[in-house]
Chains A and B, each alone.
Chain A
Amino acid sequence: MVRVTDEVRRLRKRFEARAEESHVWEAVQLARHADRPYTLDYAERLFSDAFELRGDRAFSDDEALITLLARYHGQTVVAIGHQKGRDLAERTRRMFGMPHPEGYRKAIRAVELADRFGYPILTFVDTPGAYPGVNAEERGQAGMIARSILAFCQVSVPVVCSVIGEGGSGGALAIAVGDRVLMQENAIYSVISPEGCAAILWKDSGQARKAAYAFRPTAGACLDLGVVDAIVEEPKGGAHEDVDQAARLLDQSIRQALAEAEAIPAAQRRVARREKFRRMGVWGVADEDGADTL
């Protein structure tokens, strides 16, 4: 009798683990779906007008990251987002949404402009990561990501960030430091791609599915860990199934988050934002014998 119950319990646990594993991988696939709406698809639906701010004023215009001066529900905002391409030509032009340092320099320019005029900042995060090429490195990719994060820390205007697809590593975080951070239910957000993680820890990039399950890049996990403030619902089957509806749902969440961010007094926003991120992390304390207690 007892043995049977144990066996059932063991099987149920295994099925549950399987179900969760397939859900995690489904999110990874949906976040990367070729028809998934990108920043400009939402910009078209969320903004009554938008003027594209182009160029970093130093080197070039990086089309993997776009910056807009836009009108959102009757007020001017600055929108910053990664932008992937739909066809091969556009994908190549936009480097699959992977910015070079000049892209982040453009983002910093837009952030500073917003702060000068008191315009709220809305960001849309959707990148596999910052571009890992020789030219990008030579032009200071790491330092520019750091400076972009710093620029987002320093502004006193409200900042609302939305992870709408792939939140890939430092290249995503560079524009994802806000008073409120939202995440669509099928988006992913992680420190490295599942393939990259599998290649390093499993020594086999084919183990991506296993890696994804182990490190949980899902919206649910990010909410549980206090990294995002709210999950934005998507239409059944994913955002690409009904882009208008996905945009309406995102709009509702951004409006609410923006109202919350606007409620923080401007003089306190910088400190509050810093403290929000300061709280992130989980650790234990070793007692005097060196034994850990969590």
Chain B
Amino acid sequence: MAPVEIDVERPKGDDDPGRRHPNTCPSCRSHYRDDELRHALRVCAQCGHHFPVGALERIDQLVDPGTFAEIGAELRAADPLAFVDLKPYTDRLLDAELATGLGDALVAGTGLVVGRPAAIAVMDFAFMGGSMGSVMGERFCLAADAALDRGIPLVSVTASGGARMQENILALMQMAKTVGAVDQLREAGVPYISVLAHPTTGGVIASFASLGDVVIAEPNALLSFAGPRVVEQTTGEKTAPDFGRAESNLRLGQLDAVVPRRELRAELARLLLLFSPAEDEPTGEQGPVPLPDDATISGERPVDRVLGRLGLGRRRG
């Protein structure tokens, strides 16, 4: 059968991201109703493009219903520098809070992921570009504290342009503060799983987000210290289309896995199980079976039994 050729004229300005509807897929232009997209975990049904997910929706996607308990919800950014650029920082904070319904760009808490307890820290790019200021640093540390206190793993999902310039040096110090929290987890032997969503760049990927015991990313997420534009403008180098993307990071050894959003919850549950303490085998045997006293008398060493089970033992008789 001959391929059908359809010529579709596209209106001008359609490629301008500023003019594209947030529910229109930037890669294949499929358009979705919001409830449709939410139901599909904000993954394009046509091409698999991963749309951004807000923090609360991400928690709904990953955490068992009714089990999430928020920590540090009352914390709000202060304005230590009385910072004003084209707009005062306090106005930007107010706009962000009204637009997202969040107190800052990170939501921390505890909950169950497919029945397994975890401390959770989830970021929201819609709140000032997911930028890290004092509140994010403190909330991340509170999530780490909860993980430490209860001896449960910490899971973070990041989406951030980097440190929050309006808090300047204090924002930079949140990198040291959050890495200190990871150091505490490492010292106590508490697992930390870091999930990198699009985009995770700047001060966030250069601090806690890179230090997961396991680091996984969503498909095509931009994960780099400097973004492609900064690289091109500063060094004059050309960047490849896959520069800093999750798949190239995996190839270059910076990640453990690229996991599609539809599989993320199951994959996290699997990791939480792998990091959980040893438990009984489903056969019901209790703990390690003691060696029988006559093991040596019968001439059979414990290793022979194992080899025998594997069909590798010495032939007898």
Contact = CB atoms under 8 A, between A and B. Distances in A.
Interface of A: 130-134, 136-143, 145-147, 149-150, 153-154, 169-170, 173, 176-177, 189-192, 196-197, 200-203, 211, 214-217, 221-222, 225, 227, 270, 273-274, 277-278, 280-287, 292, 294
* A contacts with B: majority SS: helix
A196 B162 CA distance: 13
A8 B149 CA distance: 58
B143 to A, nearest CB: 14
B76 A149 contact: no
Given A274-B180, A274-B183, A281 B237 contact: no
Given A134-B239, A214-B85, A173 B226 contact: no
B206 A132 contact: no
B5 interface: no
Interface size class of B (residues with CB under 8 A): 35 or more
B110 interface: no
B169 A278 contact: no
Contact of A280 (B77, B163, B177): B177
B178 to A, nearest CB: 9
Contact of B74 (A133, A170, A200, A285): A285
Interface string B70-95: 00001111101101111000000000
Contacts of B225: 130, 132, 136-137, 141-142, 145, 170
A136 B206 CA distance: 13
Interface of B: 74-78, 80-81, 83-86, 103, 133-135, 137-138, 141, 163-177, 179-184, 187, 201-203, 205-211, 223-226, 230-231, 234-235, 237, 239, 243-244, 248, 252-254
A260 B224 CA distance: 38
A202 B137 CA distance: 26
A214 to B, nearest CB: 6
18 contacts: A132-B226, A132-B230, A141-B225, A142-B210, A146-B205, A147-B210, A150-B182, A153-B180, A173-B176, A191-B203, A202-B86, A215-B83, A215-B168, A216-B168, A221-B169, A227-B170, A278-B180, A281-B170
Contacts of B184: 274
The 4 closest A-B pairs by CB, nearest first: A281-B134, A132-B226, A201-B85, A142-B225
B210 A143 contact: yes
A152 to B, nearest CB: 8
A52 B36 CA distance: 61
B76 A286 contact: yes
Contacts of A273: 180
A202 B165 CA distance: 12
Contacts of A173: 172-173, 175-176
